[in-house]
Amino acid sequence: MKKDMVDMVFEGLLRIGDDNLILGHRTSEWCGHAPTLEEDLALPNIALDLIGHAQALYSIAIQLKSDYNHEDQLAFLRLEHQYKNLLLVEQENGHFGNTILRLFYFSTYMKYFWEQVSINCFFKKLKEFAEKAFLETSYHSKYSSQWVITLGDGTEESNKKMLEAVSNMEPFIGELFDNDEFADISFKNKFLPKPSSIFKNWEKEVKNVLKKGKLNLPEILLKKNGGRKGEHSEIFGFLLSDLQYMQRAFPNSKW
């Protein structure tokens, strides 16, 4: 592969890897705090899947560059501005409904994303990975959609909380579908789908589920972005200090 292609593939793997790692970390914060025992099993299991995806993507990425010899260097030893994840995934968990709605938005997005990658990607390793990742994200999407409906169409209180969640997420949805320069180049080179091309399927499915939960997808008026350029929310530093603690305090430690 030529150098500019290597850089493009590396950047793409970082973006998706970081999305999965950071959401995996946030989701893992529920361990021991979920509202029921069943959900206390479900959320860490999902976190395990997400972190597993990140690990696999980072391990593909480090094979492309000689600066790295272990995927942990990417996961634990970068600074804030070197992470390329969406702002959506780094936001604080809030209540259970909030966490569930974010998972539903993200996994539904990733489901369509992986489907496209498994059909169109020129990079064989990612194309093959996508086939498997599609199955797992579909399961996450299905799980979270059922909770969105149950809580939205539940009691007055649970509906109120889901309305809150819908409004909390609103500023962060736009970034999922943003086409920047990288997105255009990687689409032209048959690497990743254009984020904007996923919107139609995503919107249809999300609207359908929200409607069953007596909720509505708001028109996206306010749009925050910057995550893909490494410009993160203030809380991201706190998240990293937790995530990176072991590797910073005990360099090269292994489980």
Partner 1 sequence: MKQNNDKAWNALRELTDPELPFLTLEDLGVIRSIKIKNKNHVITISPTYIGCPAISVIESKIKNRLKKLGIHARVEKSFSPPWTTDWISSKGRKKLEEFGIAPPQLKKNGYLQVASANKVKCPQCSSFSTEKVSEFGSTACKSLYRCLQCKEPFDHFKCI
Q: How far apart are CA 205 and CA 159, in angstroms?
A: 20
The token pair that represents 172 in the structure block: 């962060």
- Nearest Cα neighbor of 143 from 214, 47, 57 is 47
> Which C-beta is closer to partner 1: that of 128 or that of 242?
128
Q: Smallest distance, Å, CB 47 to partner 1? A: 9
Whether 253 and 247 have beta carbons less than 8 Å apart is answered as yes
The count of C-alpha atoms lying within 13 angstroms of the C-alpha of 138, restricted to the half-sphere facing its C-beta, is 9
Whether 110 and 137 have beta carbons less than 8 Å apart is answered as yes
Burial of 79 (0-12, 13-18, 19+ CB in 10 A): exposed
Contacts to partner 1 from residues 142-161, by CB under 8 A: 142-143, 146
> Which C-beta is closer to partner 1: that of 14 or that of 46?
46
Q: Smallest distance, Å, CB 123 to partner 1? A: 13
Q: Which stretch binds partner 1 (CB under 8 A): 141-149, 150-158, 182-190, 241-249?
A: 141-149
Contacts to partner 1 from residues 6-65, by CB under 8 A: 38-39, 41-42, 45-46, 48-53, 55-56
# chain residues binding partner 1, by CB under 8 A: 28
Contacts to partner 1 from residues 70-129, by CB under 8 A: 127-129
Binding site for partner 1 (CB under 8 A): 38-39, 41-42, 45-46, 48-53, 55-56, 127-129, 131-136, 138-139, 142-143, 146
